[in-house]
Amino acid sequence: MLVAALLLGVWTSAGAQTSTSSIPRTPDGKPDLQGFWDAATLTPLERPRQGQGKTLTPAEATAIERAAAERRDRGVRPSDPNRKAPPAGGVDSAGGVGGYNGFWVDRGSSVTSINGEARTSIVVDPPDGHVPPFTPEGRARARTRRELANTFDDVEARPLGERCLMSFGSSAGPPALPVMYNNIKQIVQTPDHVMILNEMVHDARIVRMHGPHLPGSIRKWLGDSIGRWEGDTLVVETTNFTNKTFFRGSSENLKVIERFTRLDAKTLLYQFTVEDSTTWTRPWSGEYVWAWSEQPLYEYACHEANYSLEGILKGARRQDADGSAGNVGRPR
Amino acid sequence: MRATRGARVFLAGLLSAASLIGVAPAPRAEAQAYRAPRTADGKPDLNGIWQALNTANFDLQAHVARPALALRSGPHGPVPAKEVLALGAVGAVPGGLGVIDGAEIPYQPWALDRKKENQANWLARDPEIKCYLPGVPRATYMPYPFQIFHSDKAIFIAYEYAGATRNIYLTDPGPPPVESWMGQSVGRWEGETLVVESTGFNDRTWLDRAGNFHSDELKVVERYSRTGPDHMQYEATITDPKVFTRPWTIRMPLYRRVEPNVALMDFKCVEFVEELVYGQYRKRPLP
């Protein structure tokens, strides 16, 4: 207990600690968050094992990183030209028909480490490292959405990522989570705005410093973000989400508080708290670090070449005609 | 008013002639007189939400108003095509004196034929209809605002239309690794003017709703110059040896959106074109 308290103390003072260090600063003296950042991490959102603690031992962290490196090495080997076709219907949630090999996947090469502590999960509150249970309303909404995503009758039923409306996996956020690829972000900072570009679906989040939120009648896909500085930490509060924005079951009542703290030249600490009492039984929080990247972003023109969505819907119509429906619609 | 506007067009013609014979056009009088507020590193501050206010997106060239973008022959002249008929006056094209130097875009003969064909098949071919990324320079004069983020380290443009974005590299990263809709943009300062060179385009964007187009050899050199507290002069010189006989230039003022509560809105038009693009694949297509 004492150890846990000490660790918690270290965590909550992370922002304050950096105020004396020599982080880059903008001409107006604020921490300079600008540049390209890589949000990839091997640390999952939730703790993989029940009862697991918050931190990994160095040996555990090394084992995870080594296993990831081996997976990556295996994944980039040339495919066997004589391999057999995958089973009908695929073998995993992505279909398992060979869509992604190691060339595509970039989950990073290390676990997230904060103040020298390698982490088992991004979620730190609740303390068990798991997203809290749904409220009955949240559970019902998630079920409805899951069932809808299992249908192919209308384009609107397909997930937002498939429709190129939003990044999948909350890559852009808020809150921004690491996903299987395209984890690079660009931050541009002026005295009045902070712009956070997410590579996937080229979503530019525009954070207005200070000022009131937009009227409640104006809802935005990525919400309306207002920023303020608390010491050396940029705090961003986002509300006004659309009722189509869907963060792990969230509703339009979602409120996200993000905290961006530049720990050093190479590290940005990203912390978030999500609140939606119509969805979860309590607010919950997570944190992980973004690593400085020399890699710029490239254009993610998704809709312009969304042959897949046409294929998915056309395929469903073909199955309707053949009476062969049944092999599609694996739950995500 | 008409005389003044005519004089401006005439002036633009003179500037064009000057550029043709290799003489750099003189900076506009306003640009010389006006000294913009500075960013921390002493550059003219381009921050803000800006918008063009003209008919360039309808047609870069001078044009009179016409009944619709898609027309068909009527017994006494063109009338709106069936697909757009219900829009009435809302679907009409407002006239404009054009934004190009000279009277016409210098197409190669084959390309002029293609442009006319594009215009005749506007509904099927204009990438704006399908909410595709607008390309450059079209992104600038789409009828939507855009926001420039300008710090001492970066210049970035977010466009409301389709959520298009451009990072303006301030250090040349080398040749574009792959072609793209918005290209790769590299900026530099020439005195009071931000000069942006963009290359690495695909051949799928258009320049307006009139079928004006380019190839993947497009190169665009844009010049952004503050001319007043709420105004900026914008010029773009378009080079494409596959399509045009020579480089040509468009010029227009950009206006700051001065509303106190102005903010870029969502215009994720992908959602709005789903019925057009995918409606035919519904299990029960709408009647």
Quick one: pLDDT at residue A21?
64
Helices (H), chain B: 2-20, 29-33, 109-120, 122-125, 138-141, 274-278
Quick one: pLDDT at residue A323?
85
A152 contacts B274? CB cut-off 8 A = no
pLDDT at A208 over 90: yes
- CATH code of the domain containing A29: 2.40.128.20
Q: Does B284 touch chain A (CB under 8 A)?
A: yes
Quick one: pLDDT at residue A78?
81
How sure is the predictor about A4, in pLDDT bands with cuts at 50, 70 and 90? very low
- Where is average pLDDT lowest: A55-59, A78-82, B191-195, B237-241? A78-82
Q: Which domain holds residue A162?
A: 25-43+129-322
B47 in helix, strand or coil?
coil
B153 contacts A35? CB cut-off 8 A = yes
Q: What is the residue type of A245?
A: T
**Which whole number is the average pLDDT over A9-27?**
60
B281 contacts A317? CB cut-off 8 A = yes
CA distance A37 to chain B (A): 15
**What percent of chain A shows pLDDT beyond 90?**
76
How sure is the predictor about A99, in pLDDT bands with cuts at 50, 70 and 90? low
A256-313 pLDDT, tens digit each: 999 999 999 999 999 999 999 999 999 999 999 999 999 888 999 999 999 999 999 9
Quick one: pLDDT at residue B25?
45
Q: Does B168 touch chain A (CB under 8 A)?
A: no
A188 contacts B281? CB cut-off 8 A = no
Q: Does B2 touch chain A (CB under 8 A)?
A: no
B277 contacts A153? CB cut-off 8 A = no
A23-48 pLDDT, tens digit each: 999 999 999 999 999 999 999 999 99
Pairing of strands A224-230, A233-239: antiparallel
- Where is average pLDDT lowest: A302-311, A317-326, B80-89, B121-130? A317-326
Assess if residue A272 is contained within a domain. yes
For B254, other C-beta atoms within 10 Å of its C-beta total: 25
**Which two three-digit tokens encode residue B49?**
């939400």
Q: Does B46 touch chain A (CB under 8 A)?
A: no
B156 neighbourhood in chain A, CB within 8 Å: 186, 188, 195, 197, 204
B266 neighbourhood in chain A, CB within 8 Å: 220-221
CA distance A29 to chain B (A): 11
How sure is the predictor about A12, in pLDDT bands with cuts at 50, 70 and 90? very low
How sure is the predictor about A55, in pLDDT bands with cuts at 50, 70 and 90? very high
pLDDT at A1 over 60: no
Arithmetic mean of pLDDT over chain B? 91
B138-163 pLDDT, tens digit each: 999 999 999 999 999 999 999 999 99
B283 contacts A155? CB cut-off 8 A = no
Residue B58's alpha-carbon distances to B94, B101, B210, B254, in angstroms, are: 8, 17, 6, 17
Please classify residue A58 by burial: count the beta carbons closer than 10 Å to its beta carbon, then call 0-12 exposed, 13-18 middle and 19+ buried.
exposed
How sure is the predictor about B31, in pLDDT bands with cuts at 50, 70 and 90? very low
- Where is average pLDDT lowest: B16-20, B132-136, B168-172? B16-20
CB A164 within 8 Å of CB A303: yes
pLDDT at A5 over 50: no
CB B190 within 8 Å of CB B24: no
- CA of A300: which chain B residue's CA is closest? B180
CATH 2.40.128.20 is right for the domain spanning B2-62+97-281: yes
CA distance B159 to chain A (A): 9
A26 neighbourhood in chain B, CB within 8 Å: 40, 151-152
The β-bridge partners of B248 are B238
A103 in helix, strand or coil?
coil
- Where is average pLDDT lowest: A103-117, A302-316, B96-110, B213-227? A103-117
Q: Does B47 touch chain A (CB under 8 A)?
A: yes
Pairwise CA distance, residues B116 & A71, whole Å: 54
Quick one: pLDDT at residue A295?
85
- CA of B274: which chain A residue's CA is closest? A155
**Which two three-digit tokens encode residue B225?**
């110059």
How sure is the predictor about A77, in pLDDT bands with cuts at 50, 70 and 90? confident
What ranges do the domains of chain B cover? Answer: 2-62+97-281, 69-95
Looking at residue B119, the DSSP 8-state letter turns out to be H
Assess if residue A75 is contained within a domain. no
**What percent of chain A shows pLDDT beyond 70?**
88
**Which two three-digit tokens encode residue B206?**
């258009």
pLDDT at B11 over 90: no
Which residues, other chains included, contact A150 with Cβ-Cβ below 8 Å and sequence gap of 6+? A329, A331
How sure is the predictor about A81, in pLDDT bands with cuts at 50, 70 and 90? confident
For B219, other C-beta atoms within 10 Å of its C-beta total: 17
pLDDT at A3 over 60: no
Quick one: pLDDT at residue A329?
45
Quick one: pLDDT at residue A98?
63
Assess if residue A250 is contained within a domain. yes
**Which two three-digit tokens encode residue A198?**
């997410």
Which residues, other chains included, contact A105 with Cβ-Cβ below 8 Å and sequence gap of 6+? A72, A75, A180, A181
pLDDT at A11 over 90: no
Assess if residue A199 is contained within a domain. yes
How sure is the predictor about A122, in pLDDT bands with cuts at 50, 70 and 90? very high
CB A268 within 8 Å of CB A39: no
CA distance A107 to chain B (A): 23
Q: How many domains does chain A have?
A: 1
Arithmetic mean of pLDDT over chain A? 89
Greater confidence, A13 or B51? B51
A26 contacts B268? CB cut-off 8 A = no
Pairwise CA distance, residues A2 & A10, whole Å: 13
Facing residue for B180 by CB, picked from A34, A35, A301: A301
Facing residue for B282 by CB, picked from A28, A32, A154: A154
**Which two three-digit tokens encode residue B192?**
């009071």
B40 contacts A206? CB cut-off 8 A = no
